[in-house]
Copies of this chain bind each other. A is one copy, B any other.
Amino acid sequence: MNGEQAYIRWLRQRWVAHPRVLVGPGDDAAVLTWPSDRSVVVTTDMLMEGTCFVLAQAGARRVGRKALAVNLSDLAAMAARPVACVVSVALPQVGGRAVAEELYLGMEELSKAFDIPIVGGDTNSWSGPLVIAVTALGECGPRGPVRRRGAQAGDWLLLTGPLGGSLLGHHLTFTPRVREALTLVDLVRVHAMIDISDGLSTDLAHLCQESDCGACVEAALLPIRPEAEQFDDGRSPLEHALHDGEDFELLFAVSPEDGASLLADQPLQPLGVHLYRIGSCRSEKTLTLILPDGRSQPLVPRGYEHRLD
């Protein structure tokens, strides 16, 4: 028989015991130990075929990898350490077993790299497109969580990498900034943080709204991915960097002193990550873009938003 139970047997054969996991796959729920001084951080993200990826182009393995990676990026944005995850899938009935295995192998790659065991899930098949939903659990010690709120007027806005054009490939292969976030909160007090998923303009608006402040972004300082120049759609590389989204870099606010020291020391260089200052927070609750020629204009959030009529 080649159904759900055979797949679950395959999964359980791959299962490796983990010190935090009291009950792994194959029961009604998974059970984890939890250290006494740690809070539980929980986040979930769903990817749908045709909307978030094109299965024939991406391949199921990279889709599985991405499904876990976007959740790890959310944990990173809270400066949480990954602990465990669960995954629900709606698979195609024909060819579903092969898709399921590829999804799992893609997740497994990141699961090992970030020590976040896949402790359970729900495996379904249907006649619709592929859907995968991952929920990740993390833990915060005394230095976390870092929230979207907390940025103050005068804070510097720093970014962990260049933006724009991610849909040409980066969104399927990016490394979530988990280690970077944990390193940063060990070094400085991060006032507020968010990961760039919907686009810098939209995510900066979220951070400022929660922090009850505004911000200005200096276009000349903004690092832009080379891929942002590969479009012929009438939008400039700058516009792609501001609004594309799916970059999964961290945007965070620190005091100017801490910001200057981070820029000078570049403590994430051993991880291959360069820190950029892209602007500042201000008390006036608007978003402003300072163009390379010195003119300024409102920065309108134009990142991705799901339509709901």
Which 7 A-B pairs rank lowest in CB-CB distance, beginning with the nearest?
A: A36-B36, A29-B43, A28-B77, A46-B88, A133-B133, A135-B135, A4-B306
Tell me if B93 and A50 are in contact (CB < 8 A): no
Q: What bracket does the count of chain A residues touching chain B fall in?
A: 35 or more
**Cβ contact within 8 Å between B122 and A87:** no
List of B residues within 8 angstroms of A210 by Cβ? 26-27
How does the 8 Å CB contact mask read for A69-97 relative to B, with 1 for contact and 0 for none? 00000110110100010111111011111
A173 to B252, CA, bound (A): 45
Mask of A111-152 contacts with B, CB within 8 angstroms, 1/0: 000000001111111111101010101101000010111000
Contacts of A127 in B (CB 8 A): 50-51
What 0/1 pattern do residues 97 to 117 of A give for CB contact below 8 A with B?
100100000000000000000
Mask of A147-173 contacts with B, CB within 8 angstroms, 1/0: 111000000000000000000000000
Copies in the complex: 2
Residue in B78, B147, B309 whose CB lies within 8 Å of A96: B309
**A5 at interface (Cβ–Cβ under 8 A)?**
yes
Chain A residues close to B by CB (< 8 Å) = 2-7, 22-23, 26-34, 36-46, 48, 50-52, 74-75, 77-78, 80, 84, 86-91, 93-97, 100, 119-129, 131, 133, 135, 137-138, 140, 145, 147-149, 193-195, 210, 305-309
Query: Are the CB atoms of B309 and A128 closer together than 8 Å?
Result: no
> Contact partner of A77 among B29, B44, B124, CB < 8 A?
B29
* Contact A309–B95 (Cβ < 8 Å): yes
- Whole-angstrom distance from the CB of A83 to the nearest CB of chain B? 8
Q: How far is the CA of A308 from the CA of B124 in the complex (A)?
A: 9
Collect the chain B residues with CB atoms within 8 Å of residue A88's CB.
44-46, 133, 135
Selected from B43, B90, B194, the residue in CB contact (under 8 A) with A46 is B90
CA distance A42 to B122 in the complex (A): 12
